[in-house]
Structure 1
Amino acid sequence: MKKIKILALFAFLSFMSCDNYLDINDSPNNAKDTDVTPDLALAAAQTSSYANVTTSMNFLGNLFMNNWGYDVNSFAVTNPAEFSYSIDNNFYAAIWNTPMRNTANLSNIINTEFPNYENHVAIAKICKAYYFQILVDMYGDVPYTEAHQGVADITPAYDGAKSVYRDLYAQLDQAIALIDNSPSAKAVGAEDAVFGGNMSQWKDFANTMKLRLLMRQVDLAEAGTDSETTTYVADKFALLSGASFLSVNATLNPGYSDTRADTRNPFWNIMYGEDNTTVTAFYRQYKASKRNADNLNSTSDPRRSRLFTLVGGSVVGVLQGDSSVVNGGTAPAVLSSFGLGVLSSASQDAYMFSLAESLLLQAEAVHRGYLTGSAQSLFDAAIDASCIQLGTTAGTYTGSINGTPGKGYGSGTYAQKIEAIMYQKNIALQGTSQSLETFIEYTRTGLIDSVPGSILGATQANRPRRLLYPTSEYTSNSANVPAQGNVFATGSFWYAY
């Protein structure tokens, strides 16, 4: 088969940003537009910050987690940087650049001088915490307190990763307080592209974000090397006891449609051409990995036909780093592409925070003794939620998988039950835009090196624990960029391994 070289794919992912019909001022160096009220700015602020989650972040997460491989029967690239770990300061730079730039729109809402927009401010605080959590997890120290000052400060200082995390938690508390204690606040309506103004659900989102922030720190807290974090986590969990968490999927949809390219769901938009029918090189390049296919097939996972197309009744995957048979490799001639649970239409919802993830976070917190309840029930409910999200039902799968240590919660050791929660998190979050979160979680738990890497020689012994600051920072803010150390050996502040 003729080889097709797509040299621009990686560059496109690295520099891609949200070219969306809802975009507003998205440059942190521009002055705040004081004429735009928060209700007019909210949907654009939510949407402009999100597109990178479902594109660059999603691609990297699925490749680093060995969920996807390359169609080596059609493309010449068999061992890209994602497999060889040859990362540099341009590697997936959009993961830094896009949220760092576009969350300025959320800061503008938070700093609004218009009265009675407390509910809009609360939503912006929650959304901003969502993106800065990712930045801290993937890079460590970040510009935070001095960020988004426009021309008043174009070289913001970096804040320590732990201090940013602490403030993100405080901002979530403040958001809940604004919702609860602002009787004169203007109601939020359709301008909210996530919950349509349902502030009770936003409080649940904030609590679930607080749970995610705390769970990210539990391994450090339990390692006994940071007494401050140990005390902090225990104290915050005591206050979080009895809180209400997300009981629905937090999906973003500002009115996605097939009208034109910039109105479509951003993940769909990168996978399909202008006619919404012809698949792009991105769609054709990425297929199921063999490791992922083997897991889905061997457990008769009902989600497999929704995550991928089936070949002869099974998911067929490719080893990361393999070659086609004609080039001395072992790749099957026909590989599984994305299923209808991942790509259904240009108007499909985008997932910010799934119900499955909320339930699995709660299950782990109960398992570790930080919250009360039944970890088994939460675990089983998460599988149900994941199946429903993808358009199928769990059937007998839940009962069956619970007998498999490391994949089901019903059997195995304490550590294997945590592994089972992570395994189900990877299945539930892959392909839908949240896979980078799974990579972070595997890194946090020390399980990332149990995920097989490329079959070809890598430049490093293991995957990075975080990414290098992008070239853009060294160009525009070099005096403030801190030393990162070895990103293959050390992670963000919560990294305990």
Structure 2
Amino acid sequence: MKRIKLILPLIALALFSCDNYLDVNDSPNNPLASQITPNLSISAAQTASYSTLTRRMNEVGNVFMNNWGANVNSFTGGYAEEFGITMSNNFYEDIWNSVYRNTYEYSKIINYPSADYDNHKAIAKILKSFYFQYLVDLYGDVPYSQAHLGALNTTPAYDDDQAIYRDLIVQLDDAINMINNAPSTTVAVGSEDVILQGDMNGWIRFANTLKLRILLRQATLAETDAATDTYLTDQFALLDNTFVNADVTINPGYSNASDSQQNPFVNLMFELDDVTQRNTYRFRRASDYIATQLNISPTDPRRGRLFTLIGGQVVGVIQGDASAPDGGAPASLSALGPGLVQNSSQDGYMMLLAESLLLQAEAVERGYITTGDPQALYDAAIAASMATLGATDSGYTASVNLINGKGYAASTDKIQAIMYQKSICLNGINGAEIWIEYTRTGYINNIPMPMGASSPTGAKPMRLMYPTSELASNSANVPAQTINDSFTTAPFWKN
């Protein structure tokens, strides 16, 4: 059955994908878009967009946030740009290209000329909003209102990032309304939805939680900007506090039948036998920073799930260090652990229950949500993270709550404790989210810079640069940007 489920998205992707995110030209050798109904294309769009989230977006975030180091004992020259923080228009430009291409697939579903697919269209609206939030978070202003028009507009204008954020809330409200008021002729969503398998109430929960994340991303700005604070207060008053109550996973039938059928994260790490390691797995190792955070008292029981243990400890390398005798890297370094890399058929993660609970804890702490206990939500988030990774608490939650900066109970700044816990819960799973939240709040325990890093501000970059592909194809509209800008300017929500 899983094989059948996977074949459908692969066929749909072959029929429905495009080489350029602005291209809608029809080929006489391919079916017209109007012939590919949303139920045939939704799984391909979901699967393709997730691949970028779990691979490249995850990688840049985990490296920038000093979770991952390089296996300098076996490789040379890896992560040179990341550790040097050598920003350029080529640096991770595939994130832009891939995310835009895949959000175009959601636009085609949304614009399909039939009201019989309102639930599929609602799912597409939610996921398009999910990924456009990340485009804003990673770049700032992006093409939005004129994007995906193909030959009708090959050089779309850039929209203001705050205006995009405001419209994402509108789109999510519209998606929820479509689900709640779908006509009787609406085609039911089933197994072609490889995320929630047609659970439309689950999609409403996901949409509400995404709204929560979008609103809270602006919360630090609201501390000093009265207009933003008023906007958030008004929006939170309208928010349905029905949030994600389980990990939101994706699995179209991942297996080890072929490279294209493997879970895309595992595909980077292991051959089809699920035993033979690829160089990507052998290269990625724990950083010294994260090893210290996980090892020091109270010892985090998730450490042996996030990384392999050596002598009962996570052993990491300082980013930018070299192997002995020229450097100080230990002879053996911890690899990514069994909580992250299991086998070819493992689920992918769109959003964790732990993240949902920590978002709720922050909203209550800031006074935007008046129901719920932030301490209980914080504790529940740790429990959810333990369950996701397959760890046992063993008294950790009670102990960490005694530590200022890490535990909610003891911390003078409760948001800092929430951000620390988020950085552990999402470690190796959604690195981009950790980096973005670090940029927003400045928290997560003073993450060190790599050895030899060159930064004009002495700090991490706050966004990526617009890619070479966009400079070549849409140069008249791309906002002016220097390398320094990626360190000194951030999306609108940065206070």
CA spacing shift, 1:303–1:21, aligned 2, 3 Å: farther
Give the letter for the 2:478 counterpart.
V
Q: Deviations along 1:162-206, whole A, 9 cap, x unmatched?
A: 111111110000000001111322211001011100000100000
SS of residue paired to 1:117: helix
SS at 1:116 equivalent? helix
Unmatched runs of 5 consecutive residues or more in structure 1: 1-18
Are 1:465 and 2:462 counterparts?
yes
Partner residue in 2 for 1:482: 479
CA shift digits 1:421-459 (9 cap, x unpaired): 111101100112x11101100110022682111122424
Instruction: Tell me the residue number matched to 2:205.
Output: 204
Alignment of 1:264-283 (within 5 A): 264-283=262-281
Q: Secondary structure at the match of 2:112?
A: coil
CA distance, structure 2, for counterparts of residue 261 and residue 30 of structure 1: 29
2:171: which partner in 1?
171
Deviation at 1:30, TM superposition (A): 2.3
SS in 1 for 2:214: helix
CA–CA distance in structure 2, aligned partners of residues 412 and 427 of structure 1: 17
Question: Which residue, out of 448, 453, 461, partners 2:449?
Answer: 453
Q: Does 1:442 align with 2:434?
A: no
Q: Deviation of residue 257 (structure 1)? A: 0.8
Any gaps of 5 or more consecutive residues in structure 2? Answer: 1-8, 26-31
CA distance change for structure 1 residues 494 and 155 in 2, over 3 Å: closer, same or farther?
A: same
> 1:183 — aligned with what?
183
Count of matched residue pairs = 471
Q: CA deviation at 1:219?
A: 0.6
Secondary structure (helix, strand or coil) at the match of 1:61 reads helix
SS in 2 for 1:487: helix
Larger displacement relative to structure 2 (399-408 or 270-279): 270-279
Q: Residue type matched to 1:68 in 2? A: W
Determine whether 1:347 maps to 2:345: yes
The 10-residue stretch of structure 1 (262-271 or 72-81) with the greater mean CA deviation from structure 2: 72-81
Aligned counterparts of 2:188 and 2:435: Cα–Cα separation in 1: 37
Counterparts in 2 of 1:397 and 1:449: CA distance versus 1, 3 Å = closer
What do the CA deviations read for 1:260-279 (whole angstroms, capped 9, x no partner)? 00011000011113443221
**Residue 312 in structure 1 maps to residue 311 in structure 2:** yes
Residues in 2 aligned to 1:379 and 1:79: alpha-carbon distance in whole angstroms: 34
How far has the Cα of 1:228 moved from its partner? 2.6
Q: CA deviation at 1:376?
A: 0.3
For 2:6, the equivalent position in structure 1 comes to none
Give the AA of the match of 1:257.
S
Deviations 1:117-147 (A, max 9, x none): 1110100000000000000000001111111
Counterpart CA distance in 2 for 1:274 and 1:478 is: 42
Q: Does 1:329 align with 2:327?
A: yes
In 2, the alpha carbon distance for the partners of 1:265 and 1:457 equals: 33
Tell me the CA shift for residue 25 of structure 1: 1.8
Match in the other structure for 1:6: none
Residue correspondence of structure 1 range 213-292 to structure 2 within 5 A: 213-224=214-225, 227-240=226-239, 242-292=240-290
Tell me which residue corresponds to 1:30.
Answer: 24
1:260/1:274 contact within 8 Å kept? yes
Aligned partners of 1:21 and 1:263 also within 8 Å: no
Counterpart AA for 1:371: I
C-alpha distance in 2 between matches for 1:465 and 1:159? 19
Aligned residue type for 2:17: N
Instruction: Kindly indicate whether residue 352 of structure 2 is the aligned counterpart of residue 360 of structure 1.
Output: no
Alpha-carbon deviations, 1:15-71, whole Å to 9, x = none? xxxx96652323430247111111111101111111011111111111011001011
Identity of aligned residues (%): 52
Contact 1:342 1:431 in 2 (8 A): yes
Q: CA RMSD in A?
A: 1.5
Does structure 2 retain, via aligned residues, the 8 Å contact 1:109–1:124?
yes
- The question of 1:301 aligning with 2:293 is answered no
Cα gap change, 1:488/1:21 in structure 2, threshold over 3 Å: closer, same or farther?
farther
Contact 2:58 2:428 in 1 (8 A): yes
Q: Secondary structure at the match of 1:287?
A: strand
The letter for the 1-side match of 2:53 is: V
